[in-house]
């Protein structure tokens, strides 16, 4: 196989290279199998771009690209958008200055011990955890988008993205089951941060030991005690989570100040 050099990384950081590689993959690979976007698919994609353009705590050229993509999608009077037009914009064929998204993949915190392990699905989790945290930290960010005043905005957008576009259809079905069960009970932006954290741990526990697991990255409940000692408590000899501490930890972890630019293009 192709040899990719191992990249040293720190588990307590989020790597911008993972988030940007994930956005590159989403826009240039995953979306490419949908030759035209229309109807519900188009609405789902527009909501996704709205949420990332407004909330992604990225580097300036990436944010500018997402904002330009959003403005363009909003301004288009047509109900069918050819994927190639989206690709031209993402590739910046119009040479708008200061706008750029990497067109290669550099997994860092998401690198796998084998090329088929980890990578994109890992980056998608990181992206949506980041977006739920940003929505909680910046309550006005979605003003005038049609998504404001909805504490479930990021989660519902993720739900629709996953069931409509995510290449792993089995993942989509599992996620939809969890969403149906309890997503509509989320009442605040903080609750949405914790909802996603909790569901991700359910997925981790379900997949522990599965073929898709990278033996170098065994699936466990997260954050582990080394990352957040205060998140863990013992009550009557049983492990419990201190959710107040978990929320505070997630808000320290999935923010720009904890994102490393190392290995970005
Ligand atoms: P991931 O689970 O991808 O986690 C990425 C990083 O997120 C971790 O390294 C850690 O830093 C952080 N993290 C871990 N847990 C949490 C948490 N609870 N809260 C916040 N941050 C956390 N694969 C299947 O085989 N079957 C499925 O049904 C399935 N469903 C999926 C549903 C969704 C919505 C997504 C995005 C992925 C799904 N996957 C599924 C893929 C699977 O969950 C992993 O993404 C993949 O196996 C890679 O695992 P990983 O070791 O990189 O860690």
Give per-residue pLDDT as tens, 20-65: 999 999 999 999 999 999 999 999 999 999 999 999 999 999 999 9
Q: Are 22 and 123 in contact (CB under 8 A)?
A: yes
Ligand 1 close to Cβ of residue 201 (< 6 A): yes
Q: Are 18 and 126 in contact (CB under 8 A)?
A: yes
Q: Are 6 and 110 in contact (CB under 8 A)?
A: no
ipTM attached to this prediction? 0.99
What is the C-alpha to C-alpha distance for residues 245 and 155, in angstroms, rounded to an integer?
21
Reply yes or no: is the peptide bond before residue 43 cis, omega within 30 of 0: no
Domains present along the chain, CATH in parentheses: 1-265 (1.20.120.310)
Ligand 1 close to Cβ of residue 241 (< 6 A): no
What's the pTM value of the predicted model, to 2 decimals?
A: 0.98
The residue to mutate among 170, 175, 199, 203, having the most atoms of ligand 1 within 8 angstroms of its beta carbon, is 203
Average pLDDT over residues 8-28: 98
User: Which residue puts its alpha carbon closest to atom 13 of ligand 1?
Assistant: 222
CB atoms within 10 A of CB 39: 9
3-class secondary structure, 194: helix
Average pLDDT over residues 70-79: 94
Ligand 1 close to Cβ of residue 122 (< 6 A): yes
Average pLDDT over residues 135-150: 96
Q: What is the DSSP string of 15-32?
A: EHHHHHHHHHHIIIIIGG
User: Which residue puts its alpha carbon closest to atom 35 of ligand 1?
Assistant: 121
């Amino acid at each position: 196989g192709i040899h990719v050099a191992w990249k040293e990384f720190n588990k307590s950081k989020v790597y911008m290279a993972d988030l940007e590689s994930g956005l590159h993959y989403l826009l240039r690979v995953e979306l490419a199998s949908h030759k035209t976007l229309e109807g519900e698919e188009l609405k789902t994609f527009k909501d996704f771009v709205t949420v990332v353009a407004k909330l992604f705590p990225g580097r300036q050229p990436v944010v500018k690209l997402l904002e330009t993509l959003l403005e363009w999608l909003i301004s288009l009077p047509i109900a069918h958008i050819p994927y190639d037009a989206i690709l031209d914009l993402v590739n910046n064929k119009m040479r708008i200055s200061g706008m750029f998204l990497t067109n290669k993949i550099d997994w860092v915190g998401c690198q796998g011990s084998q090329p088929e392990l980890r990578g994109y699905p890992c980056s998608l989790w990181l992206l949506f955890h980041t977006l739920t945290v940003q929505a909680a930290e910046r309550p006005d960010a979605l003003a005038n988008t049609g998504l404001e005043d909805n504490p479930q905005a990021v989660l519902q957008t993720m739900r629709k993205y996953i069931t409509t576009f995510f290449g792993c259809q089995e993942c989509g079905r599992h996620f939809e089951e969890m969403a149906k069960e309890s997503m509509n009970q989320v009442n605040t932006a903080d609750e949405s941060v914790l909802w996603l954290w909790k569901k991700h741990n359910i997925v981790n526990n379900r997949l522990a030991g599965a073929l898709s697991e990278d033996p170098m990255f065994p699936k466990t409940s997260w954050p582990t005690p080394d990352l957040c000692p205060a998140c863990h408590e013992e009550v009557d000899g049983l492990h419990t989570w201190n959710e107040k501490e978990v929320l505070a930890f997630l808000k320290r972890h999935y923010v720009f100040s904890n994102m490393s630019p190392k290995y970005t293009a």
